[in-house]
Amino acid sequence: MGLRRLPPLTSFLGRIAIELLGISPAHLRLPAALVNGASLVLVGLLTRTLGGGRAAQCLALLATFPIALAFSSVLQYNTTDLFAWSLTILSTARVLRSGDPRNWIGAGAGIGLGVLSKYSIAFPAVSLVVGLLLLPAQRHHVRSRWFWYGAATATILAAPNLLWLATHHFITLQMEHFIHLRDIRLGRAEGYYSDQLRYTFLAFPLAVAGLVSLLRSPRFRLLSAFFLGPFLLIAAAKGRGYYLLPAYPVLYAAGAIALERVLAHRGKLPRNIIRTVVAAAMLANSVAIAWTYLPIWPPGSSGWTWQMDHNQDMADEVGWPEFVAQVAAVRDTLPAADRARLGVLANNYGEAGALALYGPAYHLPTPISSTNSFHARGWGAFDPETVIVTGGTLEDQLYNFDQCSVAATIHAPYGVRNEEAVRHPDILVCHHLRRPWAEVWAHSQEFG
């Protein structure tokens, strides 16, 4: 197992999809869709636990649906993170509603799964403990043996990942520190507060109503900590706006219930009109997310081109099989002597991942990369003499190798301007590393 920046659960789901169904973007999206579907079920159960009827449950689901849509568009750590938060919050709500402390086991399971999903689960976990200590009516839970059974459950589930980190010098902290500083340098952490409006859009009033409702509720006030705590902690840490998205479903659930209680005192006609308007607003949110994030347009169409121009993440998803085919075509032009001790070096973890995934079909060597988890795998069973290099510049590689030349230029399908096609489009062929591979590798760990 290589060094990784992210916890293992997302990669594990991806591996299951590949082994069972084969390599396909649709197959990799399937686990994301299933997990997000399960998260929506948890949101419905949460709304019911808070006292919401069928109408409130439907509204909460409609409000949360855009988040699930965005997180289902690709298999990523946010997918399982939403599920972990939802399970933790639902279990806590059940403790508060029924008084049954055994539900702390479920909260612990949510936090444990969160550690296997995304380390930002620390924000709701810390907020929960602080909320319990600050609210006099809830402090008795900390003295319950079931609360500590829940803590033990979280620890047991998280233990394999935590042990791995301990035995690898907590290198993830180095990675996270690098990524965080990079995001700040590039301005990605700016707009945290405005992002909350942008991501919630027409559901923002519902979220505000939900937060007010929770703060006014003696029974469920603790649940407001799952939003207020992460909101403040992420802001203090200069995190990115979307980190807070898993905190919104509990607000939507409470807001939907508050709206239903207000409408209960209205006549049938105004009640139906308001429900229709609110539902239409939530559906509009879903349409906006689908338009921006989902691959709903035929490649090359005007809608598809708009997405490529306005969503860099989608543009960066295009062209990986073609990229690997172009690398294989360069390999095929090399003399037999050069292919005998050939390596393929990718300076980008996306390129390395694509070569690892699609390369075996072309009988390409296992890719070499110094980025993230690939660094721990080394440079292979032998010291390559000829190296195909992607993701680098000719000037940089001439510093590392005796000879280098541009063998081909990457062309993304449909003229998409993604990272590979724009920032580092050259496929290089280089010969004879100037220093021993072991010496170079000892100082080459990179993060991305």
Answer whether 404's CB lies under 8 Å from 382's CB: no
Write out the two tokens for 50. 């808070």
Q: Where are the domains of the chain?
A: 9-293, 320-441
Beta strands 401-409; 386-390: pairing state: unpaired
Reported as half-sphere exposure (CB side, CA atoms, 13 A), residue 288 has a value of: 15
pLDDT in tens, the chain (448 residues): 333 457 899 999 999 999 999 998 889 899 999 999 999 999 999 999 999 999 999 999 999 999 999 988 888 889 999 999 999 999 999 999 999 999 999 999 999 999 999 999 999 999 999 999 999 999 999 999 999 999 999 999 999 999 988 888 888 878 887 887 888 888 887 899 999 999 999 999 999 999 999 999 999 999 999 999 999 999 999 999 999 999 999 999 999 999 999 999 899 999 999 999 999 999 999 999 999 889 899 998 999 999 999 998 899 999 999 999 999 999 999 999 999 999 999 998 999 999 999 999 999 999 999 988 888 889 988 999 999 999 999 999 999 999 999 999 999 999 999 999 999 999 999 999 999 999 999 888 888 7
Three-state secondary-structure class, residue 154? helix
Neighbours of 262 (CB within 10 A): 12
pLDDT value at position 5? 57
Write down the pLDDT at residue 168: 81
Residue with tokens 């998409």, as numbered in its chain: 416
pLDDT at position 72: 85
* Full DSSP string of 72-85: HSS--HHHHHHHHH
DSSP-based helix, strand, coil % in the chain, nearest 5: 70, 5, 25
pTM over 0.85: yes
Q: Write b or e for each residue in 397-433: b if 16 or more Cβ atoms lie within 10 A of its Cβ, otherwise e.
A: beebbeebeebbebebeeebebbbbeebbbbbbbeeb
- Using N-to-C axis directions, what is the helix angle for 248-263 and 54-72, rounded to 10°? 150
Is 139 exposed, middle or buried (CB count within 10 Å of its CB: 0-12, 13-18, 19+)? Answer: exposed
d(CA 210, CA 377): 49
- Start-to-end CA distance of the chain, whole Å, equals 18
- The sign of the dihedral angle between the CA atoms of 247, 252, 257, 259 is positive
The H or E element containing residue 20 is: helix 9-21
For 382, other C-beta atoms within 10 Å of its C-beta total: 12
Cα(388)–Cα(247) distance, rounded to whole angstroms?
45
Specify whether the CB–CB gap between 330 and 307 falls below 8 A: no
